[in-house]
Amino acid sequence: MKGVLMDIFVAGTDTSSATLVWAMAELIKNPDSMKKAQEEVRKVAKGKQMVEEEELGSLRYLKSVATSERDIETTSTSTITNTQRDS
């Protein structure tokens, strides 16, 4: 968690992975959401190790989780950056 927070505070260099780590942390804190996302991935993967690229469009719930997390992180980073500029 410390590394994720540090990325946010210094506007991280790898925002994609930071967003993914943050989203996973949020899913861990929300077991019902985690279960729903897992069920969706398992349904789309149909027993395969990985979801194929053409199947990604079927992951609607997971996409909404990622979009929500991106929006939250963007807002947080923007607020921190604006606060630092005002100081």
- What is the residue whose two structure tokens read 């027993």? 47
Closest CA to 69 of 37, 25, 13: 25
| Amino acid 21: pLDDT | 81
**Residue range(s) defining the domain that contains residue 73:** 2-86
Domains in the chain, number: 1
For residue 55, what is the DSSP state?
A: G
What's this model's pTM, rounded to 2 decimal places? 0.59
Residue 32 — pLDDT band, cuts 50, 70, 90?
very high
| Residues 43-68 pLDDT 10s | 999 989 999 999 989 999 988 887 87
Mean pLDDT for the chain overall: 76
